[in-house]
Amino acid sequence: MKFSKVKSIALLVGVIMLFAVIISMAQPMIGELPAPRVVEGRPLVVAYVTKGFESEATQRGFSQFKIECAYRGWEIVEVTTPLEKTSDAIRALIEKNVDAIVCNYSYFDYWLDEVKMAREKGIGVYSIDTEIKPGVIVCSRQFDGAAGARLMAQLIDAIGGSGTVGMLAYHMHEGVDRRTIAAESIARWYEKRGVVVDYQDITYPGYDVQAYNIATAWAQKYGKDMKAVFAGFDIPSIFASRAFEAAGFTSKDVIMGGIDGGQQALGSIRNPDSPFKMSFSQPFELYTHTTCEVIDLVQIQGMPIAEALSKVGANPATGNVFLDGIVVTEFNVPAAGSTYYEVHGWYGEDPEDADAWINWWKKVEIEPYRS
């Protein structure tokens, strides 16, 4: 199945702009709290808090975080804790008096009081692709609604704007929910022009098995009229792809798309028979680098928070900085083993520049996460 270049349509642009505004305006204000301490004469001690490393998103982010800290001379305190125990873990870090806390998928609703406690003690609190809550200085993330709309538009364009499109809708994660809502808006527009949309909810735990079973049912119900499947992250689409393969479908019959762009997704795209053919690869390395830049500006250089946020392109009123990813298809997927810097076009940096942040891994001799 051939992929043609996606043409701009007024609806897509409108949805992207709408969700960009909604996401930005919906975040709570940062609040009047003391500026984090400025560290001089010793390494900055930064805690990296996550609920686990099972996802490639977390693995990619932490890989870049280790490179950043090694290059900058910072010390890392690694904390992996179940969500329900995050509050206790953060209190231990406050007692330890670390200089900064970076959250990656350890949602702040579980430790809102501790955010305030940390900030009042001079500890900076930062977020990588998670969320903004009162007291959190910055969150580096993508325009989730725009990503969902873009992927859906490209999927439907790839199938020629006809046939049945399945949606695996996951609402238990803020970002994935926004992607799904925006993608549905695009699908419903095409529905008025002949596309059939079949919308199915999936939940945690077990969304992988649910996706497989739903796709199996779709294969039986629609046969070769089933042309595409969208999910707000890669795993459900990958499992749906396996179900269609088991039912005898190939990429010439049906295609899947997801969001994240991990090794498994790109490997499936490289496989000519796999129906999984698109992934919106998130810029996890750039998320991490940008958050670390804010930490450096605020707690090493002593720059006021608002000025530091403006310097990295964030909204000083909310702390959000939105960074763009790339849709990977069979036509632009890099060779296996490529770094994600290459996947993302070197993030706009010169790959020959030894001092560019995309090359810091060579100086600190820490291997980056590869595709």
Please report the DSSP string for 67-106 in residue order.
Answer: HHHHHHT-EEEEEE--GGGHHHHHHHHHHHT-SEEEEES-
Task: Indicate whether 230 and 300 sit together in one domain.
Answer: no
Residue 103 lies in a domain: yes
Q: What is the pLDDT of residue 28?
A: 41
How confident is residue 2, by pLDDT bands cut at 50, 70 and 90? very low
By the 8 A CB rule, do 320 and 141 touch?
Answer: yes
Model confidence at 88, in pLDDT bands (50, 70, 90)?
very high
Inform me whether the pLDDT recorded for 5 exceeds 70.
no
In a domain, 332, yes or no: no
Same domain for 74 and 197, yes or no, is no
Question: Quick one: 156 and 129 in the same domain?
Answer: no
Q: How many domains does the chain have?
A: 2
DSSP 113-182: HHHHHHHHTT-EEEEESS---TT---EEE--HHHHHHHHHHHHHHHTTT-SEEEEEEE-SSHHHHHHHHH
Q: What is the pLDDT of residues 92-142, one digit of tens each?
A: 999 999 999 999 887 777 888 999 999 999 999 999 988 888 999 999 999
Confidence of residue 249 (pLDDT cuts 50, 70, 90): very high
Within-domain flag for 360: no
The predicted pLDDT at position 169 comes to 96
Question: What's the confidence (pLDDT) of residue 173?
Answer: 80
pTM for the model stands at 0.87
Picking from 253, 281, 309, the residue at the C-terminal end of a domain is 281
**Residue 271, pLDDT above cutoff 80:** yes
8 contacts: CB under 8 Å, gap ≥ 6: none
Would residue 3 count as lying in a domain? no
- CATH code for position 90: 3.40.50.2300
Mean pLDDT of the residues in the chain: 91
Per-residue pLDDT at 356 exceeds 90: yes
Q: Residue 8 pLDDT more than 70?
A: no
* One domain, residues 273 and 155: yes
Do 160 and 262 fall within a single domain?
yes
**267 and 301 fall within a common domain:** no
Q: Which residues constitute the domain of residue 15?
A: 10-22+144-281
Give a yes or no: residue 61 inside a domain.
yes
Boundary-marking domain end, from 281, 308, 327: 281
